[in-house]
Amino acid sequence: MLVLGTGELAADILHKLQNGARAKYHTVSCFDMQYGDNGDNGNAGNGYTTGDHTELEQVLERERVDCIVVAMGERRGRLPVHLLLSWKFRGMRVEEGASFFEKISGKIHVVRLNPSFLIFNDGFRWPTQTAKRLTDLFFSTLCLILTAPLFYLLPLLIKLTSPGPAFFQQTRVGLHGRRFSMLKFRTMVVNAEEKGGPVWASEQDPRVTRLGAFMRKFRLDELPQLINVFCGDMSFIGPRPERPEFVKSLSQQVPYYDLRHTVKPGISGWAQVNFRYGASVEDSVEKLQYDLYYIKHMSIALDCRIVFKTIRIVLNGFGGR
């Protein structure tokens, strides 16, 4: 395989491949088209091959390349269209960089994503919404019945170990940007944000009570969100709902961030089972890439896959904050 381009997308593709994403791919070269200004100029001169159409053809012949991934940051006037067509009709696979990255990583690259990729690409159609809602309604009812004893026991323990209410309500942003009150069992001291304002939770967060730390580790604090699912504010599976204060800031800093709100938020999601707890803008970008992948490929089968991964994570007590 040859990667055509040396920008950020090309670098991310190489990084994913070199870290064992797909053993069947062997990258022989990362080629930068030379147009007088060093092409993408992202990583040129750092182990990347640079040249013109003739030199590119020589690399393809010499290395016996059978797949080209086009990951050029700027293609207008640079893309070797005739050469790519010639090789494609000779049997070579030519793949678009963003689509290839999606395939090997399970997420959509958003940093330099072209809007046309979202507009014209397959996916982003949800014929399963009615089935998804009926499934949410059935299983939220079932889970509320099965976990009813915990709705008596945990509030009692919370009251005994920390002064304040047992339940905690927090405004979150849901479908189409509408706000709703998300329910949780309280795991922090009362008025935890009175001084510092809204902040992301951190590891060993001093605001978290001892019982709260245990509940967070095994996601017991999120049981009341079954009520949110039953009422239709949330789904079992979807992007995690964020607070309005963070949404406002992230929408200005992260491209396509508002697309998360085109589906119902979930108790768990593709980003949650593939990435750690997000506590920064950089983490939010990474999680958005997984969320967009989920929105594009949303199906009952993918939801089931996420449910099984979530159960495994909960049983391991991994990642809770």
| pLDDT (0 to 100) of residue 269 | 95
The encoded tokens of residue 188 equal 């922090």
Which ranges of the chain have pLDDT less than 50? 36-39, 41, 43-46
CATH for 2-105, among 1.10.10, 3.30.420, 2.40.390, 3.40.50? 3.40.50
Closest CA to 298 of 248, 263, 253: 263
- The predicted-structure confidence for 49-83, as pLDDT tens digits, reads as follows 788 888 899 999 998 999 999 998 777 778 889 99
Query: Using CA atoms, how far apart are residues 135 and 144, in angstroms rounded to an integer?
Result: 14
Could you give the C-alpha distances from 255 to 71, 120, 262, 282, 284, in angstroms and in order? Answer: 19, 18, 15, 12, 11
Angle at 276 between CA 134 and CA 146, to 5 degrees: 35
| pLDDT (0 to 100) of residue 118 | 79
Q: At what angle do helices 210-217 and 148-161 cross, to 10 degrees?
A: 150
| pLDDT (0 to 100) of residue 32 | 85
| pLDDT (0 to 100) of residue 38 | 47
Closest CA to 12 of 120, 107, 76: 107
| pLDDT (0 to 100) of residue 316 | 80
| Own/partner pairs, 313-318, CB within 8 angstroms, 24+ separation | 313/272, 313/273, 314/218, 314/219, 317/217, 317/218
| pLDDT (0 to 100) of residue 319 | 55
Maximum C-alpha span of the chain: 76
Q: Where are the domains of the chain?
A: 2-105, 129-316
| pLDDT (0 to 100) of residue 46 | 47
Query: Using CA atoms, how far apart are residues 116 and 179, in angstroms rounded to an integer?
Result: 29
- The predicted-structure confidence for 277-294, as pLDDT tens digits, reads as follows 767 888 899 999 999 999
